[in-house]
Structure 1
Amino acid sequence: MTLSTANSTVTGSLPDSASSKVPDRVGVLGGGRMGAGIAHAFLMAGAHVTVVEQGEDAAAAARDRVLAAVDKSLSRGSVTASRAELGERLAVATDAAAFAGSGLVVEAVPEVVALKTQALRLVEANLAPTAWLASNTSSLSITALAEALDRPDRFIGLHFFNPVPVSTLIEVVTGERTDPELARLAQAWVAALGKTPILVRDSPGFASSRLGVAIALEAIRMVEEGVASPEDIDTAMVLGYKHPVGPLCTTDIVGLDVRLGIAEHLHETLGDRFAPPQLLRDLVARGDLGRKSGRGFFDWKDAS
């Protein structure tokens, strides 16, 4: 696989998970749904994981989320380690100083440029110069985020997908100043997590968000225009194009607010073809955010 960037060419092939290994100590900034999923993935791969959140209550909730995912893995029989062992390798904290011994930290805070920039600066200030730093952004420019850092060459995008425990894809996104060695290592880490990496040059929406949002926005316009019901539009993509889940159900799972934020960013950077439909804005404004709120394009109130 070869990837050209502004300053270099990254070349590599998909690594063998059997010969790959994650860093021994991994940090995750943010313990929400995505952050907890990322922590779970590295924990399952053998790392000691530290999750940092704002406040004791949020940190405790993050620990509960990670351990709930651990319990699901144990119930499926896909883990050889015991719950006690996994729990011992998981730590939560409220201070970024807890990342001091980490070889890699993944930032997983909401998709707001100012918030991510502040978070990444805070993390970098607490890392050893030899440590690596990654953002779980789904659409924001890795090159632009790197401008806030003292060591932009040690920064990369690792775009995990929701829900992390069952998703098998991670986008590895290289910025203009990302060290090619980091791109190689990141692909090996992804393989060690039991997932498949795709290597993407930094561009608006990367590969997955750009394509996924384009399909979702058109599906939303079709609902808005009364072309078909959400159920029938999704059925068309599932049965006609073999998508495992339809674009409107996927939007509910991702979160309508998250989709709107990405669409607004792509609208600004790529033009009117990514303009968010008014229906999407209206649903977000009234709090119908999808699965997490109990209602989006579908009713999720009884979903586990």
Structure 2
Amino acid sequence: MNGPRPDMDFTPVRNGMDYLTSAVLHLAPTPYPSRDRPINDRELKYAVLHLQAATEVLLKARLVREHWSLVFKDPGKAARSAFEQGKFESCSINATMDRLADIANVPITQKQRSAIKDLAETRNALTHYGHTANAYAVEARAVTVLNFLLDFVPLHLQPALSSEAKFVHESMGAVAIDVRRIESLVKTRMQELAGDLRGLEERTVICPQCRQWAVVVGEDPIVCRFCRVSWEPDSAALEYWNDVLRGEFEALATDPCGCGDELVLLANTASNKTKDVGLCFACGTLYERKV
């Protein structure tokens, strides 16, 4: 049926998440290249372009939540009418990070700042001048920035949203599924998380989303330390039962936990990845085959 095309509905947040989703798909193409050769040039080029765009848009989207004038190059000359029409010169990515840290109290480490700056420079070189560089080095820079966004979006952007929070949460769940295929990201991120997970092995299980040993039960909400997807304890237990245990009836608890909850499943934990134990997702208590 012919007729007028609907208006495009790409708010800055939706734009940023669209770029992020695209970047991950380019970093994790199907089938994924072997570990002995990098992503092909075209995939890596668009991964860099879209990841840099996602970073700038999502960081500025968070800055707007602090105050709309902060995204102007000179906030002292900000005009609401110019902001609403998009007719203004916005601040640089470096100024954005400075304002997020100094005004919005969003932590950005020097390593993260350097990676974001390097990615922006690589993007500019690819766009305007052509660029020759080691593909593994470019991929490593992209992975560091993606690592940053995996924390930034759910921890600092999503809580500041209202109507778009659900969309961002669902988008990050989809991103988490694709992230599992990026070998270099997995290795780097798990190394960084080793300290956070140390001592929690007996209540750490594999994530139903990203398939990394990074979900610590016995917390509310339960959060995957790797992909940052979060659940209420009952939802986490249900998804673990459906996606990891494949809905095996034998894996359900026969008795409730001593805490009064019935979220005990037959699970494997990071302390012994082959041993079946009863594990309460609500309080994190271990039981010897209490199922």
Larger radius of gyration: 2
TM range (shorter): under 0.3
Q: Which has the higher strand share?
A: 1
Higher RCO, 1 or 2 (CA under 8 Å, sep at least 6)? 1
TM-score, length-scaled by structure 2: 0.25
Q: Which has the higher helix share?
A: 2
TM-score, length-scaled by structure 1: 0.24
